[in-house]
């Protein structure tokens, strides 16, 4: 099964819940809650949520402060996670974001359902505060590196846009240095303003069509739609130093207003006079452009290198996003595990002895209240429910969503 983005978690709500362990034991709590939640909705799943009791912490006051810190960092890390997710899917809307853990690849759902504490990354020998600081430093580095790489990529993407226009994409063929191309040359822009180096190319003009000597120049003129014959009748009379019969309309070139392009030979000394006379007839002389096959080849080679560099950086940035999303998601869930541990200890006391579970259901479910009642009833019957502890976030008022057990709801998919 393949999921795009993090769609395996989309439309689903997860709860991390915990109560104090009683004589009944964890398995009994799990069994009764699972059976009763299935009566509420068959789509509801209950899984044991592995949090070690051996996490190091200090005094009670330290735990209260840590609880507040974890709430703040939980939100902050999710912000970074969503930014990385958006970046990844902007680069590739079909990208499948997965979790790489213990050298295996998991969907979001698989990782959530089989979560266990990463002792290698967050060793129990370190205090929770030390593990939290290490986690935050890792997130900050990932975020900084991604921002830097994204900025570099945006710069080269802008350079490609400036050189090749908004219609360019990574699958487009950049003309090779021999000038090979196909189709109508001009699909957007106006001949009166567009850089003609993208228009007058080796596939529409020969070197023999261009003449530059000590006295004679080649100039290109934009002829409005329907004025083809009028120009041919007029141009030789426009100036005595225009070379007779030198006009040649360039094939396959027409802009969105129907303007055409014609080549004319004339003496350099008459350029300004010819230009003014043409202007009076609404013919535009593009004397700002001078054709050169060598210049064209150089431009195409530079563009080719630019496009290749864009592709290289885009590929690297995709890999960075994929890996960073995985690392940040893992850290985010460990933050939630720390929150569960801290709140359980604050509620139920020491030594840490609590039962923690992960519950999954559809976000659209109208049975949230029933499900929460089942959890509370099960905890009262099989486990123990603690009292509200005081922290800076709860001193002033108790939230309406307060529950007498540890309750941490979250959604793994991006909220819109």
SS3 of 100, please?
Answer: strand
How many Cα atoms sit within 13 Å of 169 on the Cβ side? 4
- What fold characterizes domain 201-290? Alpha-Beta Plaits (3.30.70)
Q: Which of 112, 130, 117, 129 is nearest to 53 (CA)?
A: 117
Question: 206 is written with which tokens?
Answer: 């020969």
395-402 contact pairs (CB < 8 A, 24+): none
Q: Which of 110, 90, 91, 94 is nearest to 102 (CA)?
A: 110
Residue-wise pLDDT tens for the chain (416 aa)? Answer: 233 444 444 568 999 999 988 777 889 999 999 999 999 888 899 999 999 999 998 888 889 999 999 999 999 999 999 999 999 999 999 999 999 998 899 999 999 999 999 999 999 889 999 999 999 999 999 999 999 999 999 999 999 988 876 555 544 445 443 444 444 555 568 999 988 888 888 888 888 889 988 999 999 999 999 999 999 999 999 999 999 999 999 988 899 899 999 999 999 999 999 999 999 999 999 999 988 888 888 988 999 999 999 999 999 999 999 999 999 999 999 999 999 999 999 999 888 999 999 999 886 667 888 899 899 988 887 667 765 444 444 444 444 456 789 999 999 876 43
Neighbours of 323 (CB within 10 A): 14
End-to-end CA distance of the chain: give it in Å, rounded.
25
**Coil, helix or strand at residue 56:** strand
Q: Which pLDDT belongs to residue 360?
A: 94
Helix axes 26-40, 368-382, angle to 10 degrees: 150
Backbone angles phi, psi at 266, to 5 degrees: -160, 165
d(CA 69, CA 391): 11
Interatomic CA distance for residues 331 and 333, integer angstroms:
5
Domain residues of the chain, as ranges? 12-123+322-410, 201-290
CA torsion, ordered 185, 188, 190, 193, to nearest 10 deg: -90
Per-residue pLDDT of 308-353, as tens digits, reads 999 999 999 999 999 999 999 999 999 999 999 999 999 998 889 9
Report the distance separating Cα 9 and Cα 21, nearest Å: 30
Q: In this predicted structure, what is the pLDDT of residue 400?
A: 47
Six-digit token pair at 189? 């822009």
CB atoms near residue 126 (< 10 Å)? 14
Q: Which of 188, 196, 216 is nearest to 261 (CA)?
A: 196
Tokens 């940040």: give the residue.
Answer: 328
Cα atoms in the 13 Å half-sphere on the side-chain side of 321: 26
**Cβ neighbours for 100, distance < 8 A, ≥ 6 positions apart:** 106, 323, 326
Give the sign of the dihedral formed by CA 395, CA 396, CA 397, CA 402. negative
């Amino acid at each position: 099964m393949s999921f795009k983005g993090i769609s395996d978690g989309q439309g689903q709500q997860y709860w991390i819940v915990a109560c104090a362990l009683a004589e009944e034991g964890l398995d009994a709590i799990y069994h009764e809650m699972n059976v009763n939640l299935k009566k509420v909705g068959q789509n509801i799943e209950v899984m044991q949520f592995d949090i070690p009791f051996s996490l190091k912490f200090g005094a009670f006051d330290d735990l209260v402060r840590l609880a507040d810190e974890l709430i703040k960092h939980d939100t902050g890390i999710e912000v970074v996670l969503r930014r990385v997710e958006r970046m990844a899917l902007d680069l590739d809307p079909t990208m499948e974001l997965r979790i790489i853990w213990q050298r295996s690849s998991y969907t979001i759902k698989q990782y959530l359902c089989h979560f266990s504490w990463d002792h290698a990354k967050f060793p129990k020998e370190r205090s929770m505060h030390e593990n939290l600081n290490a986690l935050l430093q890792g997130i900050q580095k990932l975020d900084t590196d991604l921002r830097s790489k994204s900025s570099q990529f945006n710069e080269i993407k802008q350079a490609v846009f400036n050189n090749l226009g908004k219609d360019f994409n990574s699958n487009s063929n950049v003309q090779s240095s021999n000038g090979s191309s196909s189709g109508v040359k001009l699909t957007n822009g106006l001949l009166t303003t567009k850089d003609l180096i993208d228009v007058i190319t080796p596939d529409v003009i020969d070197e023999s069509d261009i003449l530059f000597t000590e006295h004679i120049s080649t100039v290109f003129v934009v002829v409005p739609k329907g004025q083809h014959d009028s120009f041919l009748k007029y141009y030789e009379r426009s100036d005595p130093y225009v070379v007779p019969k030198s006009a040649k309309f360039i094939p396959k070139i027409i802009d969105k207003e129907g303007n055409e392009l014609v080549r004319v030979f004339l003496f350099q000394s008459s350029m300004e006079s010819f230009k003014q006379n043409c202007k009076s007839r609404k013919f535009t002389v593009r004397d700002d452009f001078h054709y050169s096959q060598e210049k064209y080849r150089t431009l195409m080679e530079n563009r080719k290198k630019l496009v290749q560099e864009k592709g290289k950086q885009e590929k690297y940035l995709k890999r960075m996003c994929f890996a960073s999303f995985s690392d940040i998601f893992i850290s985010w869930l460990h933050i939630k595990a720390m929150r569960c541990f801290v709140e359980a200890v604050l509620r139920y006391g020491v030594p840490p002895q609590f039962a923690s579970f992960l519950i999954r259901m559809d976000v659209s479910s109208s049975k949230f209240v029933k499900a929460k009642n089942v959890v509370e009833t099960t905890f009262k019957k099989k486990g123990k429910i603690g009292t509200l502890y005081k922290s800076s976030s709860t001193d002033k008022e108790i939230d309406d969503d307060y529950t007498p057990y540890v309750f941490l709801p979250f959604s793994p998919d991006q909220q819109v």
